[in-house]
């Protein structure tokens, strides 16, 4: 897979007993997402915030998996982050806990950033809320937004705060969409597989295909090319998996109903 194979330029380390490998494509794609040709320092701040946020997200998965006796490891690559958590050794309830702990860790990080900024710079909950509302596209109080910028004073400080909140709120919410392979899609698949062990995986991928397809059309109507491609790719992935499930059932080779989680 592109951006997964080992290279001489991989960064490797252990933290809290979990091994981590960072592929060079992670840095490149992160820089592309936050690219500002006339402001390289802002790009570097963005990449650092993406690294910290995704790493903590994956450590959320990994730390809970370790608590269940698994041996997880983390990969940061061109497509974001992956935590190999030995899902086949977990009960459905444990899988749900492992999956949800990733976005949960990101929301906790966002809350800690807000608390720290409030303690140091005096930003009020009302001002934090205004920023969060602005991020998710809701109407926000202009004077509250201005208050945040004035209190943080330094452009660098404001960027770190803005990027960390943006990544952990927006990406966290997107990641909870019922679209496989996002965490929300994995949650829906686990739940549906418990409701119907035979057809739950197929239902989960069908739901993912429909949600990703509809959202891709909506993103296209709002001329958001990146989000359109992102969601259309996920819709295509789920379409391919549904075809594979159909062929497996037709040929009678899908005796292991939990194969999709291996």
φ/ψ of residue 81, rounded to 5: -135, 150
Task: Return the pLDDT at 137.
Answer: 76
**Alpha carbon distance 200, 239 (integer Å):** 15
Task: Return the pLDDT at 49.
Answer: 97
What are the pLDDT digits (tens) for 196-228? 988 898 999 999 999 999 999 999 998 888 889
Which pTM does this prediction carry? Answer: 0.88
Q: How many domains does the chain have?
A: 1
DSSP state of 3: T
Question: Is residue 251, in this structure, part of any structural domain at all?
Answer: yes
Question: Is residue 131, in this structure, part of any structural domain at all?
Answer: no
Least reliable range by pLDDT among 71-75, 87-91, 111-115, 162-166: 87-91
How confident is the model over 35-62, as a mean pLDDT? 95
pLDDT band (50, 70, 90) for residue 26: very high
Are 85 and 98 within 8 A, CB to CB?
yes
What does the mean pLDDT of the chain come to?
A: 89
What are the pLDDT digits (tens) for 124-156? 999 998 888 888 777 777 887 788 888 888 889
What are the pLDDT digits (tens) for 116-125? 999 999 999 9
What are the pLDDT digits (tens) for 29-38? 999 999 998 8
Three-class secondary structure assignment of 170-200: HHHHHHCCCCCCCHHHHHHHHHHHHHCCCCH
Task: Return the pLDDT at 43.
Answer: 96
The answer, yes or no, to whether residue 1 has pLDDT greater than 50, is: no
Task: Return the pLDDT at 65.
Answer: 96
3-state SS assignment for residue 4 = coil
Question: Is residue 186, in this structure, part of any structural domain at all?
Answer: yes
Structural domain boundaries enclosing 237: 178-262
Task: Return the pLDDT at 255.
Answer: 43
Task: Return the pLDDT at 236.
Answer: 95
How confident is the model over 219-242, as a mean pLDDT? 91
Task: Return the pLDDT at 140.
Answer: 73
How many Cβ atoms sit within 10 Å of the Cβ of residue 72?
Answer: 22
Task: Return the pLDDT at 253.
Answer: 65
3-state SS assignment for residue 21 = strand
Question: Is residue 218, in this structure, part of any structural domain at all?
Answer: yes
Question: Is residue 187, in this structure, part of any structural domain at all?
Answer: yes
Task: Return the pLDDT at 247.
Answer: 85
Q: Which of 214, 194, 216, 204 is nearest to 241 (CA)?
A: 204
3-state SS assignment for residue 74 = strand
**Continuous H helices in the chain:** 24-33, 40-67, 92-121, 125-135, 142-152, 155-166, 172-175, 183-195, 200-221, 225-251
Q: Is the peptide bond before 181 cis (omega within 30 degrees of 0)?
A: yes
What is the four-CA torsion angle of 192, 196, 202, 206, rounded to 10 degrees?
-50
Question: Is residue 185, in this structure, part of any structural domain at all?
Answer: yes
How confident is the model over 193-197, as a mean pLDDT? 92
Q: What angle do CA 249, 254, 260 make, to 5 degrees?
A: 110
22 - beta bridge partners? 11, 76
Question: Is residue 172, in this structure, part of any structural domain at all?
Answer: no
Q: Copy the structure tokens of residue 31.
A: 């820089």
Question: Is residue 226, in this structure, part of any structural domain at all?
Answer: yes
């Amino acid at each position: 897979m592109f951006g997964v194979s080992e290279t001489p330029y991989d960064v490797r380390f252990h933290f809290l007993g979990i091994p981590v490998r960072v592929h060079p494509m992670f840095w490149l794609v992160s820089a592309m997402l936050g690219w500002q040709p006339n402001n390289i320092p802002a790009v570097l701040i963005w990449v650092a915030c993406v690294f910290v946020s995704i790493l903590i997200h994956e450590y959320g998965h990994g730390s809970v998996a370790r608590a269940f006796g698994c041996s997880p490891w983390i990969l940061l690559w061109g497509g974001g982050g992956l935590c190999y958590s030995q899902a086949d050794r977990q009960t459905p309830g444990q899988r749900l806990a492992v999956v949800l702990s990733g976005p949960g860790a990101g929301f906790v990080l966002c809350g800690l950033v807000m608390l720290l900024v409030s303690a140091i710079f005096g930003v009020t909950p009302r001002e934090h809320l205004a920023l969060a509302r602005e991020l998710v596209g809701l109407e926000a109080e202009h004077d509250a937004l201005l208050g945040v910028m004035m209190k943080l004073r330094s452009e660098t400080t404001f960027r770190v705060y803005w990027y960390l909140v943006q990544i952990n709120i927006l990406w966290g919410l997107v990641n909870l969409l019922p679209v496989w392979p996002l965490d929300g899609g994995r949650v829906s698949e686990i739940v549906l597989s418990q409701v119907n062990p035979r057809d739950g995986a197929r239902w989960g991928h069908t739901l993912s295909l429909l949600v990703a397809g509809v959202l891709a059309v909506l993103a296209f109507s709002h001329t958001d090319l990146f989000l359109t491609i992102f969601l259309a790719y996920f819709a295509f992935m789920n379409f391919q998996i549904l075809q594979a499930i159909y062929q497996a059932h037709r040929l009678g080779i899908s005796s292991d109903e939990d194969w999709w989680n291996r």
